[in-house]
């Protein structure tokens, strides 16, 4: 029987978490749970949650731990399939909350992409908020300009992708990432992948996950 995989993907804003996540979920058939996509979809639907977080997100600030944690824990607990968590945890407190909830993690994929590459990419990002699909006018443009490839609906630019807000988001990331990496390194879960492009990183990540999955399945068979 195929093992259930529970993965976290970490990386700076614009490092390609969403891009690599969509390749992982297609290849390994798992649910993609993205904190940012969930929040943006709530903003678009003008839910109570969306109204609460809209201003914070457009300014590039993190939303409070109690708000985001409740949403994510609920999602994880109702997801029966394998899952990939993108955008959470964002600080040490969120790591501890996952741990306290006894949500076990198999592997943490850590993307390291140079910051100067990121700031350029985000100027050209367009997204489809209902699905979370991500485009880039240079890297993966939509087939029809400003339209989602699947639904034909309009694409938008994220309000937090303006140059000054991106710098603020990168600064928050720099302050928060080390304790998160230390937390998961102490559990021997972190695999770091360094490079300038998603096309370079993807085959490395894919091979690593194939090996990991095969080993996990082999050790589970031995136990049976
Ligand atoms: P999010 O939504 O989690 P971030 O800031 O972590 O947002 P973001 O911006 O979504 O991350 P990404 O997913 O890492 O970036 O990157 P991506 O979208 O795949 O790629 C970026 C662009 O580059 C795209 O246009 C893509 O097509 C292009 N691209 C990819 N690869 C390449 C390449 O090789 N070459 C080139 N040229 N282009 C490429 O969080 C948003 C906000 O929500 C709140 C916070 O306010 C946060 O700021 N939030 C939370 N707050 C508290 N706690 C949490 N856990 C929170 N989670 C979300
Ligand atoms: Mg993203």
In this prediction, residue 222 has a pLDDT band, given cuts at 50, 70 and 90, of confident
Which atom in ligand 1 lies closest to the alpha carbon of residue 15?
Answer: 14
Asked if the model's pLDDT at residue 11 lies above 90, the reply is yes
Q: Indicate the average pLDDT of the chain.
A: 95
- Residue 221: the pLDDT is 84
Largest CA-CA distance found in the chain, in angstroms, rounded: 55
Say how many Å lie between the CA of residue 214 and the centre of ligand 1.
29
Decide whether any atom of ligand 1 lies within 6 Å of the 15 Cβ. Answer: yes
The pLDDT confidence band at residue 219, using thresholds 50, 70 and 90, is confident
> Virtual CA dihedral for 196, 207, 73, 176, nearest 10 degrees?
-30
Cα 195 to ligand 2 centroid, rounded to whole Å: 18
CA of 191 to the centre of ligand 2 (A): 19
Q: What is the ipTM of this complex?
A: 0.98
| Res. 1 pLDDT band, cuts 50 70 90 | low
The string of pLDDT tens digits covering residues 163-176 is: 999 999 999 999 99
Residue 151 CB neighbours (<10 A): 11
Q: Which two tokens stand for residue 86?
A: 């993108």
199 CA closest ligand 1 atom index = 34
Tell how far the Cα of 214 is from the centroid of ligand 2, in angstroms. 28
Report, as an integer, the average pLDDT of 143-155: 97
Is residue 196 within 8 Å of 114, Cβ to Cβ? yes
Beta bridge partners of 85: 8, 33
Measured from the CB, is residue 169 less than 6 Å from ligand 1? yes
Instruction: Determine if ligand 1 sits within 6 Å of the CB of residue 128.
Output: no
Burial of 60 (0-12, 13-18, 19+ CB in 10 A): buried
**What is the model's pLDDT at position 76?**
96
Task: Indicate if ligand 1 lies below 6 Å from the C-beta of 142.
Answer: no
Minimal CA–CA distance to 24: which of 72, 80, 83, 76? 83
Distance between CA atoms of 8 and 17, rounded to whole angstroms? 10
- 129 C-beta closer than 6 A to ligand 1: no
Predicted confidence at residue 198, as pLDDT, reads: 98
CA of 67 to the centre of ligand 1 (A): 19
Catalytic residues: 17, 90, 125, 158, 169
Q: Which helix (H) or strand (E) holds 34?
A: strand 31-34
Q: At residue 220, does pLDDT exceed 90?
A: no
46: left (phi over 0), alpha (psi -120 to 50) or beta: left
User: Is the CB of residue 88 below 6 angstroms from any atom belonging to ligand 1?
Assistant: yes
CATH level 2 (architecture), domain 6-114+177-223: 3-Layer(aba) Sandwich (3.40)
Q: Determine the residue of 58, 70, 84, 87 to mutate for testing ligand 1's pocket, defined as the one with the most ligand atoms within 8 A of the Cβ atom.
A: 87
Whether 224 has a pLDDT exceeding 80, the answer reads no
* Tokens representing residue 1 in the block: 């029987």
Classify strands 125-128 and 133-136 as parallel, antiparallel or unpaired.
antiparallel
Q: Which residues are CB-neighbours of 177 under 8 A, at least 6 positions away? A: 10, 12
């Amino acid at each position: 029987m195929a093992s259930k995989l529970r993965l976290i993907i970490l990386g700076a804003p614009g490092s390609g978490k969403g891009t690599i996540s969509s390749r992982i979920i297609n290849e390994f058939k798992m649910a993609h749970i993205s904190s940012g996509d969930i929040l943006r979809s709530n903003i678009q639907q003008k839910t109570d949650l969306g109204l609460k977080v809209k201003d914070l997100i457009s300014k590039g600030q993190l939303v409070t731990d109690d708000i985001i944690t409740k949403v994510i824990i609920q999602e994880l607990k109702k997801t029966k399939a394998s899952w990939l968590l993108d955008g959470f945890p964002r600080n040490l407190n969120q790591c501890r909350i996952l741990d306290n909830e006894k949500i076990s993690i198999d592997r943490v994929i850590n993307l390291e992409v140079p910051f100067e590459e990121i700031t350029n990419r985000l100027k050209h990002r367009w997204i489809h908020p209902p699905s979370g699909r991500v485009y880039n006018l240079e890297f993966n443009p939509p087939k029809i300009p400003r339209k989602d490839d699947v639904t034909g609906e309009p694409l938008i630019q994220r309000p937090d992708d303006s140059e000054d807000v991106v710098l603020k988001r990168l600064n928050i990331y720099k302050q928060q990432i080390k304790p998160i990496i230390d937390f998961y390194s102490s559990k021997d879960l972190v695999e770091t992948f360094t490079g300038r492009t998603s096309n370079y990183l993807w085959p490395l990540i894919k091979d690593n996950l194939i090996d990991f999955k095969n080993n996990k399945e082999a050790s589970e068979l031995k136990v049976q």
